[in-house]
Amino acid sequence: QASQEELKAAYRRLCMLYHPDKHRDPELKSQAERLFNLVHQAYEVLSDPQTRAIYDIYGRRGLEMEGWEVVERKRTAAEIREEFERLQREREERRLQQRTNPKGTISVGIDATDLFDRYDEEYEDVPGSSFPQIEINKMHISQSIEAPLTSTDTAILSGNLSTQNGNGGGSINLALRRVTSAKGWGELEFGAGDLHGPLFGLKIFRNLTPRCFITTNCALQFSSRGVRPGLTTVLARNLDKNTMGYLQWRWGIQSAMNTSIVRDTKTSHLTVAMQLGIPHSFMMVSYQHKFQDEDQTRVKGSLKVGFFGTIVEYGAERKISRHSVLGATVSVGVPQGVSLKIKLNRASQTYFFPVHLTDQLLPSAVFYATVGPLVIYFAMHRLVIKPYLRAQKERELEKQRESTASDILQKKQEAEAAVRLMQESVRRIIEAEEARMGLIVVNAWYGKFVNDNSRKNEKVKVIDVTVPLQCLVKDSKLILTEASKAGLPGFYDPCVGEEKSLKVLYQFRGVLHQVMSADNEALRIPKQSHRIDADG
């Protein structure tokens, strides 16, 4: 938001500070020349309306964007934004040809009913019968990839294989999707499998209003029994900022009508649904609470009542790494029995393990299904996951330090040179501030501070920035904007990839003040709230 006059004033101040002719020492003169050139380059960018607009919107990467050299000079930031987005689209279209979006699911069903529903009297004479038999009774694997053809057309290839108790089959599908406008898209689907004949489908999505959309899916399934048509239509509407309402009508195989309301907020997710259909009609309520912690922990519960019986489910999920989420759900129902469902999401892959424990409502099965996963998770988290993540973070930090070592060394040398060049200016500023009982920076440190006893083994990594901060004082005020302080004159990053803070001890009107500011936090001093109590 700085005006041209403010830019010129800052440019003149830094030129006076770094001008080579002001320094007689050969080493200081050489350092001053380098910093003076950097200041000049910055002013060239910010004093030109076009390059300043590019830098303000997109930063250094905008200035380095391929294609600007053939672009007609624009007058407004809006025109420059439009041109930049056009160049971005061209680059994106070139990348589309080489990019796919793979998604997959692996489901392994486990029959563990022998743990609780054991028929001991039938196997007394069989060798090894004293051990419960746990079997894999079903498996399902599905995979899909997207191949963007153009910016509006996408081909989707998917397939799946399933087996249960020795019998199985599979299918393969090809879909072609086209975005027809900003309001909708259409999709053609072709499929075939060994259990069913060819499949032809058409899916259409359309925004009716900014708050309402409709989706229609019609399909023809060919089989030895003839042609089986199917039609599904979903009408959805935003009821408010966080609430959606859905109406669904399905005709054909398992015809049904379904209505649901979904409310999703920052801390919760609520779904209420009712279905009337053949063969299943039911009512369902589910609630999920989202904790605002680093691991994105969620707990959930649901109740489903219908012609098939009653099912109660409860569970939790938690982020265990940057790309992985682990969840477990206990399902208790009549006549379904007790099951434990474990799910791992890893990027775009899902691994699902439903474990059927018993066909009866046994308290012991419910207890072990609830407590067992918790004990195993906390033991694994403490002994395996946490040490692994800590080691991984250290490796990433070390890799980042190595890749930026030369750049950081150069920044450090520039900062140290700037501090030496600031000495005379800082001396004059301090004399002026002392004369008016103004703002004097007694001590200032920037970097990683360790105040928590649990982290006392970590190394403190800070640099002294007393001189650079005092140099920024003007008329007994110091104002820092919302940006990393590592970019200030006389600063550099002492701990790449780690959280940093700025700690300042300063004197104003003869009274000591102290403040601690986060790296990207704006700072204005002096402030009454920073004053150090003389009694404390």
Which residues, in sequence order, are CB contacts of 447 under 8 Å at separation 6+?
Answer: 460, 461, 462, 463, 494, 495, 500, 501
pLDDT band at 454 (very low <50, low <70, confident <90, very high): very low
Which pLDDT does position 121 carry in this prediction?
Answer: 53
Tell me whether residue 28 is in a domain: yes
pLDDT over 90, % of the chain: 41
Q: What is the Rg, in whole angstroms, of the alpha carbon atoms belonging to the chain?
A: 33
Q: Does residue 75 register a pLDDT over 70?
A: no
Q: Where residue 41 sits, what CATH number does that domain have?
A: 1.10.287.110
Q: What is the mean pLDDT of residues 39-59?
A: 79
* Locus of tokens 């032809």: 200
| 420 occurs within a structural domain | yes
CA distance 108 to 150: 37
Across all residues in the chain, what is the average pLDDT? 85
What residue numbers bound the domain in which 26 lies? 4-62
Confidence of residue 330 (pLDDT cuts 50, 70, 90): very high
Q: Is the model more confident about 263 or about 101?
A: 263
Tokens of 42: 């910055």
pLDDT tier for residue 453 given thresholds of 50, 70 and 90: low
Average of pLDDT values for 351-363?
93
Is the residue at 108 inside a domain? no
Identify the pLDDT of residue 106. 95
Q: Is the backbone of residue 154 left (phi > 0), alpha (psi -120 to 50) or beta?
A: beta
pLDDT confidence tier of residue 68, bands split at 50, 70 and 90: very low
Say yes or no to pLDDT of 535 above 60. Answer: no
Which 8-state DSSP code applies to residue 382?
I
349 found inside a domain: no
Assigned domain for 515 exists: yes
226: phi > 0 → left, psi -120 to 50 → alpha, else beta; which? left
pLDDT at 122: 53
pLDDT for 175: 95
In this predicted model, which residue has the larger pLDDT, 511 or 483?
Answer: 511
> Contact at 8 Å (CB) between 507 and 440?
yes
- pLDDT for position 472: 87
Of 35 and 173, which is predicted with more confidence? 173
Question: Does the pLDDT at position 480 exceed 80?
Answer: yes
End residue of a domain, out of 14, 43, 62: 62
84: pLDDT strictly greater than 80: no
pLDDT band at 98 (very low <50, low <70, confident <90, very high): low
Which tens digits make up the pLDDT trace of 398-425? 887 787 778 888 888 888 888 888 888 8
The 10s digit of each residue's pLDDT in 147-156 is 888 878 999 9
At residue 299 the predicted structure's pLDDT band, cuts being 50, 70 and 90, is very high
- pLDDT (mean) for 206-220: 93
* pLDDT-wise least confident of 9-13, 295-299, 335-339: 9-13
Q: What is the pTM for the complete model shown?
A: 0.63
In this prediction, residues 339-352 reach a mean pLDDT of 92
| Residue 278 falls inside a structural domain | no
Report yes or no on 90 lying in a domain.
Answer: no
Most confident among 7-16, 25-34, 288-297, 451-460 (mean pLDDT): 288-297
Single residue among 40, 62, 84 that ends a domain in this structure: 62
- Indicate if the pLDDT at residue 531 is higher than 80: yes
* Amino acid type, 69: E
Distant-in-sequence, close-in-space partners of 343: CB < 8 Å, separation ≥ 6 = 317, 326, 327, 328, 329, 350, 351, 352, 353
Higher pLDDT, 278 or 156: 156
Element of type H or E holding 222 = strand 212-223
Please give the average per-residue pLDDT across 90-101, as a whole number: 63
Q: Return the bridge partners of 207, or none.
A: 213
* 520 located within any domain: yes
Which pLDDT belongs to residue 119?
A: 59
What does 281-292 look like in DSSP terms, one character per residue?
A: -EEEEEEEEE--
Which residues in 241-376 belong to E strands, given as ranges?
243-251, 256-264, 268-277, 282-290, 298-306, 309-319, 324-334, 337-346, 349-358
Residues in the chain, overall count: 536
Structural domains counted in the chain:
2
Last residue of a domain, one of 39, 62, 85: 62
Q: How confident is the model at residue 231 (pLDDT cuts 50, 70, 90)?
A: very high
What is the predicted pLDDT for the residue at 353? 95
pLDDT at 71: 47
The Cα 491–Cα 465 span in angstroms is 7
Question: Rounded mean pLDDT of 374-392?
Answer: 87
CB of 342 closer than 8 Å to CB of 372:
no
* Mean pLDDT for the stretch of residues 274-302: 92
Q: Please report the pLDDT score of residue 242 as a whole number.
A: 93
Question: Helices in 216-352 by DSSP H: which ranges?
Answer: none
Which residue from 355, 306, 357, 313 is spatially nearest to 332, judged by alpha carbons? 313
* pLDDT of amino acid 174: 95
